[in-house]
Amino acid sequence: MSLPVGTTDDRRRPRVYYETVHRPLGGDRTHLGQVGPRLRPERRRADRGVESNARLTAMTAAVIFVLLAIEGLTIVRIRSLLNVHVLIGMVLVPPVALKIGSTGYRFVRYYLGSPAYRRKGPPPPLLRLLGPVIVVTTVILFASGIALLLVGPALRGDMLLLHQGIFVLWFMAMAVHVLGHFVETARLAPRDWARRTAADVQGARLRQWAVATSVALGVPLGLLLVGKANSWFTFGQPVHLH
C-alpha cells in the first residue's frame, strides 16, 4: 500500500510514495524504498519483463524435462531404441539452446546491474555454482552425441567414451538442478496456458510459439540424422559407417 508523504496544505510539494517490494526468489527480505509516481509504471514494466523471462525459462524447462524423461527410457534398451534415442536427442537441441539463451539473458542483466533483475535476486548459491557446469556439460554431451553419428570408425570409440563419461557428470549436476528449480518451474510453466494468469504478463502467445517452434525445429534435425543411426547396428552387431 502506498501512502503520500507531506501535508494536504503543501500542494506544490511533489508526492513521494513508499512502496514495499517483495523478492520471491531472492530470500525473505523486504525492501522499503521511495518510488516517485512517474517511476512506478516503468518499474512495473521492468518487473513484468523479468516475469516474462522467468515464464519462458520455466515453460522451456518443462518441455525439456519431458523429453529428457523419454530419452532416459531409451537408454535402458539402447540397441533396439537407438533411432528413438537419436530422434529425441536432436529434438532436444533447439529447446536446450532456447533455455540457455533465456537463462543467459537473466545472468547478463543481473550482473550488469538491471534494477528489475536485481530485485528478483539470484538463484541460491549452489544452483549458481552449478549453472556453468550444466551449460558446459550439456554442450559437450550433445556435441559428442552428434559427433558419434558423423565421425569415422577410427574416432568412434573415443567419442563414445567421452559421451558416456560426460553423461555421468551431467546427470549428477542436472539432478540437483532439477530438484532445486522444480517448485518454481511447476508454478511458472502453466501460467501462460491458464486464461486467468496468461494476461498478467504481455507476450504469452509469443512465448508459447517460441517454445513450440524450438521443438518443431528439432524434428527435421532428428529425422535428418536418424538415418545415421541405422548403420550402427546390423542384426544387433556394430558396423562401420562408410
pLDDT tens readout for residues 165-178? 999 999 999 999 99
- H-type alpha helices, 189-232: 195-198, 204-230
**Is 122's pLDDT higher than 70?**
yes
Q: Give, as one character, the DSSP assignment of residue 233.
A: E
- Evaluate whether 168 touches 141 at the Cβ level (below 8 Å): no
Q: What separation in angstroms does the CA of 30 have from each of 23, 64, 128? A: 7, 34, 22
Cα 128 to chain centroid distance, Å, stands at 14
**Is 7's pLDDT higher than 80?**
no
Helix (H, G, I), strand (E, B) or coil at 62: helix
| Grid-cell match 530438484, residue found | 179
State residue 156 phi and psi, 5-degree precision.
-65, -40
Q: What is the pLDDT of residue 233?
A: 56
**Is 1's pLDDT higher than 50?**
no
